[in-house]
A and B are shown apart, each in its own frame.
Chain A
Amino acid sequence: MYNFDYAKASSVADAVAALGADEAQAISGGQTLIPTLKQRLAMPSTLVDLTGVAEMQGIEASGSAVKIGGATTHHAVATSADVQGAIPALAALASGIGDPAVRHKGTLGGSVANNDPSACYPSACLALGATVHTSGGDVAADDFFQGMFDTALGEGQIVTGATFPVPEAANYQKFVQPASRFALVGVFVAKTAGGARVAVTGASESGVFRWTAAEEALSANWSADAVPAAPSADGMISDLHGSAEYRAHLVAVMTKRAVTAS
């Protein structure tokens, strides 16, 4: 790692101010950022630690929505009775990210802000129609994720949390990449009052996306049998763990399994 200064923010305002410095960068759980820094792929002047920001902690559940602070760990989400009660698929998703030690550190905000094309949380945000709370205001998930590692976050802005509407039914199916255990393909399906939403992570070169053909079919008939044939392999990731064709196939298989399990 190149050296950097370390600053622990105590509030969102404090964090945003610190991030105004040249080449300052936010760190939350650090489970992706620290390995990146070890490879000297980034050279921040200051790391602004968000994990001590009280207003970014915690989970609030109402009958219709679950609000999760950006600095809330995957472990906290996975074990939250509120999340388990309101959106069990979201708790299950959190319980499958990384491994126990990673879940004790990694946070929702970090995952959402990074928008790794193989991360799990972006698919939940997109499928549930979440609102992403940022230091620059609220952004609908549909507008937030803009391609691999690309989001609507402006310079110096941070994700402070997300609010997930409670669906009628939902499920997340993750097919793991055998080495990293990230999603080779992950599909989050949600049955909502406004229709079915299907979000796919891991598969596309454009990052997380909504599989609209499946949404239309499932809106008409919420059953595995209704899931259409696999989407086109064009634009799917092809690497040593899976061809584009294989990933496209898995999108359909995982969607069916998610609907069945929902």
Chain B
Amino acid sequence: MPSVSMNVNGRSVSGDVEGRTLLVDFIRQHIGLTGTHVGCDTGQCGACVVHVNGDSVKACNMLAAAADGSEVTTIEGMANADGTLGVVQQAFQDHHGLQCGFCTPGMVMTAADLLNRNANPTEQEVREYLEGNICRCTGYHNIVKAILSAAATMRGEQIAAE
């Protein structure tokens, strides 16, 4: 059994896994972070998106062993240090960008990944970046609004900080 260790949300974790253990199973079952969800088995829905070494990836489409030594961020690592909602999370609440909440962790992680790369996306760029995240509740309208709003907030913060 391979032993893996990785840094998840700033915390070092390790464990013995099988070769077939998926990263998402390691996150949900071995370290008990159940915010990352599994909504399909073909790599399409994106409910399992986490960041590995700064890139959004589908945790159900990656072996835990392949993430050995990585820096992993999950939805549980997205709040501010004081526990308040981070900018993207807050925008989702402010704009009603979630209903049942099941796709939400993946949506937030993908949105954060987009905004890390593109501080000023257009509506079309937001929609295209969400290609691998399926939501059945919202019709995406308010998710797109939330992400555009988060982008604006983040740009504002950057301007204020300068």
Contacts and interface: CB of A to CB of B under 8 A. Distances in A.
Contact of B46 (A27, A47, A75, A101): A101
A234 interface: no
19 contacts: A6-B19, A6-B66, A8-B66, A30-B66, A31-B58, A34-B43, A34-B61, A34-B62, A34-B63, A35-B41, A49-B66, A75-B55, A101-B46, A101-B49, A101-B56, A101-B57, A101-B113, A102-B61, A104-B55
Contacts of B46: 99, 101
Given A3-B18, A30-B63, A34-B61, A100 B131 contact: yes
A47 B129 CA distance: 31
A35 B19 contact: no
Interface of B: 2, 18-20, 22, 41-44, 46, 49, 52, 55-58, 60-63, 65-66, 110, 113-114, 129, 131-133
A51 B46 CA distance: 22
Given A6-B2, A6-B63, A101-B58, 16 more contacts: A1-B20, A3-B18, A30-B61, A30-B62, A34-B63, A35-B43, A46-B19, A47-B19, A49-B63, A51-B66, A98-B131, A99-B132, A101-B110, A101-B132, A104-B57, A105-B57
Contact of B131 (A46, A105, A181): A181
What's the dominant secondary structure at chain B's contact region? mixed
A30 B42 CA distance: 12
Interface string A4-31: 1110100000000000000000010011
Given A4-B20, A105-B61, A99 B66 contact: no
B106 to A, nearest CB: 9
